[in-house]
Amino acid sequence: MKFLVDNQLPTALARLITSQGHECEHVLDIGLACSSDREIWEYARKGDRIVITMDDDFLYLANRSESEGRLIWVRLGNCRTSVLLAEFGRLWPRIVAALEGGERVVEMQ
């Protein structure tokens, strides 16, 4: 699977996901940091990437009837990077299983 991490989340998350054997980019690393949500969503959709974000605007994009994109919606609130990465590490097997099982939107809370 391929992933795209949005602005509100640290670049360390992209590195963590890459270390788990998945391709992962962060918007800061590919020149999309100032792009609109729609531009980021379209980039991810065209590249068959799953967006990882805290921004609920992406939830609306994912839930449109014609949408082909997929989303991990992070709802942990503001927390230290170490806490966020620990939660991703703990929940990652369930997240991957849900995506492999066909879920288009996985809510992480």
Strand spans (E) along 10-85:
23-26, 49-53, 70-74
Beta partners for 55? none
Question: Residue 106's pLDDT band (boundaries 50, 70, 90)?
Answer: very high
What is the CB neighbour count within 10 angstroms for residue 75? 10
Percent over 70 (pLDDT), the chain? 99
For residue 51, give the nearest of 16, 9, 6 by alpha carbon: 6
Domain ranges across the chain: 2-108
Which pairing describes strands 70-74 and 105-108: parallel, antiparallel, or unpaired? Answer: parallel
For residue 108, give the nearest of 50, 66, 65, 67 by alpha carbon: 50
Percent over 90 (pLDDT), the chain? 88
H/E element, 77: none
